[in-house]
Structure 1
């Protein structure tokens, strides 16, 4: 039984006791007398009847009157006549109520009459018969206890509901961390559990919506940045292409060798623009997440040599040489092969462009735990210390040529492989580029 049910039961019990054993009004007295007479007719002994102490009861039979309780009361002739005739009656006087009831035998014949006189009706009962008095006192005490406990019990019952209301209000204000303790009766535990589940689902939904919003904002920012990048970086080469193409098309270039050089310039610019567009697309895609990599096992030296071969022409023109420092040709990495070649292409190309004439580029690789540490070093002019971090940003270039996107792309690719791009420039000159790739087992010889 719950606390609320127990309190309700006590209140109802006290109310019933009060109805049963409470004060007697004049209109109730004839019915009470009739009930006691019925018990007498069904064989109850006179001493077993329950009469209030304030009343007097006289039994009239052929043998003569008998006082059952209280003192002798002179009969009112009309009431006695009606009762002996089988008709009950009563008379309400200022100081008492007289009730007459016929007494019948088992065949329904009237064999006597009962007169019950209640003194001072409506003023309450000074006492009760033995047993009933104790119950009356218990009823009064129960009612008093209920009154005393009603306020704390009410608070005890309503406190969890008020906590729930306040929690709902805080949840409505945006506090998605709000939770209720799952304690108390089963009903309150179930209510708190349901609230906590609802709050958790709301938090998950809010986080999902926030993530989607951030992603959408990032995509929109990338789109705007991409359009700005295209207009910023492609305007100059496209204008040059248009100028050279127009001069050739309009016949302004008469010398065939000069026309051929113009076409070659156009081809170089188209290649430059194509590469820049691809780099811009890569960077914009990666703004929304990590680069998409296709991991595989391969010898680390292979993409390095491929990148070096593609730069042989520019390197020879600058007098730049490449030296491999103790590289194990069997050293394996687990990475995206095409992106790894792109890394070497970016680093070697930067060294060839900026190291200066007759410079030397030294590349070394060594295992370092579960990764391969790769170092690309040149002995050129180096990078000012204040510009080491800035050169990784978009469009940062020390010369008037180039997209300025290479190192930004390289850094994202290295981060996608779980590594970090480190740039340094010793005081004596030169530039050191260091990064790492995941190592893989060596192949059998």
Structure 2
């Protein structure tokens, strides 16, 4: 199967996109936000930690550099600023006790008083450290500042050192990492989307083809077949649909053959009845031979019609679950003998040898006498129907203790090996050249099964057929 449509957002595809992909996008979105937040926190905490450490170290160093005999805060601070080695990365401001800026590492004093919350925090802190993050009023850039209190050797506050670093570079690094992680997440989403769409369509497209083919089969095109391209569940579905189409085609052919056969079977006796009725009406008064022959034909053909209609009604009742039986303790030998008697004259007319090996007695069984007689009549009718003049039809009844076996055999045309497994199926008729509706054996088999017995058929083409009916005897 060729995948002709790749992205069709409906049905299963749409559900997958909105359900599975929605969950994946939500998870990756949460992961990306958490990663960006973690990177932001890491960089800002690192900068703050570095500034705080630098401030502590420099405050201690400043106290050491201060001359204890003649402490000169400004001179020491000037030397300290001049020796500041990290002026390319941050700015150092020296403040007096009031917070006024005395010196800067950039040698430029601001032209207005700066807001320095970190200086007030450092003065209020027991550790002499304060930090602040905000926007530089003069440059408009985001900065981080850490202020440490400068003391003399006696611990007296002399001023403060303020370290200020721009966060522009840090924010750029954070944005870069966030962008890279976003691209990675987006790439994962696109990969999952495209691979998932390919996989989904490898299912959806064949299913659509199966649906279309099933529609063709439902409309009566039983020759339609689905090409199998996958050796998996989809391939098994294709095989199942193809097998179903074949079975439906066979069933449809059998149904059509059945209708044709029944139509022919109904037409033949009706034609005979109509023809002989017209002959009788037109015969001369006193022509008893013609009258008797015609009436005999009419009676026989009427019986055929009655049996055929009864089979059809029984079959209909079986299909709808309305088939009923009147179960009673019966003498099966009497019912079998009556069925044999019905075919004795027919055997003489058709030139067949009819042999009945009647036992002296058989144990009674629980069953419906009329239905069992119907079974015997149907099977005997088949034996006569498929036998030519000079053939032999034989009936045997055997007592097997808890079962009774009745064997009806003939030396007729037999059943081909390919047809033997299906002869008990409804509507099936292996030999279309012989009269019959094709449901007699199906009805007989169903009746025997309802009595708890079995109906088995053994046959060899051009040699004959033997039908064995096994029925349980009545329990004492």
Q: TM-score if structure 1 supplies the norm length?
A: 0.51
Kindly state the Cα deviation for residue 337 of structure 1 after the two structures are TM-superposed: 5.7
- In the alignment, which residue of structure 2 is the partner of 1:4? 29
Q: How does 1:241-252 map to 2 (within 5 A)?
A: 241-252=273-284
Q: 1:198-241: CA deviations, max 9, x gaps?
A: xxxxxx9xx99x99x99998997677545433443333433332
1:322 equivalenced with 2:390 (yes/no): no
Q: 1:78-108: CA deviations, max 9, x gaps?
A: xxxxxxxxxxxxxxxxx775332599xxxxx
1:232 equivalenced with 2:273 (yes/no): no
Q: 1:348-389: CA deviations, max 9, x gaps?
A: 345567486796734134659x986542235xxx23567577
- How many equivalent pairs are there? 337
Query: Which of the residues 262, 280, 290 maps onto 1:258?
Result: 290
Change (3 A) 1:371 1:125: farther
CA distance in structure 2 between the partners assigned to 1:137 and 1:97 by the alignment: 23
- In the alignment, which residue of structure 1 is the partner of 2:412? 383
- In the alignment, which residue of structure 2 is the partner of 1:191? none
Query: Which of the residues 173, 198, 203 maps onto 2:205?
Result: 173
CA distance in structure 1 between the partners assigned to 2:105 and 2:276 by the alignment: 143
Q: Which residues of structure 2 form unaligned runs of 5+?
A: 1-25, 48-86, 117-135, 149-162, 211-236
1:394 equivalenced with 2:419 (yes/no): no
- In the alignment, which residue of structure 2 is the partner of 1:424? 459
Q: How does 1:252-401 map to 2 (within 5 A)?
A: 252=284, 254-279=286-311, 294=325, 301=333, 303-314=335-346, 320-324=354-358, 328-330=362-364, 332=365, 338-351=370-383, 354=387, 361-365=394-398, 374-377=406-409, 382-384=411-413, 394=429, 396=431
Q: 1:371-414: CA deviations, max 9, x gaps?
A: 86542235xxx23567577795638489xxx73447x5215632
Change (3 A) 1:97 1:372: farther
Change (3 A) 1:102 1:243: closer
What is the SS of the residue equivalent to 1:403? Answer: coil
Kindly state the Cα deviation for residue 283 of structure 1 after the two structures are TM-superposed: 6.7
Q: Which residues of structure 1 form unaligned runs of 5+?
A: 23-50, 74-94, 104-117, 179-203
Is the 2:262–2:437 Cα contact (8 Å) retained in structure 1? no
CA distance in structure 1 between the partners assigned to 2:415 and 2:344 by the alignment: 32
- In the alignment, which residue of structure 2 is the partner of 1:434? 467
CA distance in structure 1 between the partners assigned to 2:115 and 2:429 by the alignment: 118
Change (3 A) 1:10 1:352: closer
Is the 1:315–1:321 Cα contact (8 Å) retained in structure 2? no
Query: Which of the residues 93, 105, 111 maps onto 1:56?
Result: 93
Q: TM-score if structure 2 supplies the norm length?
A: 0.48
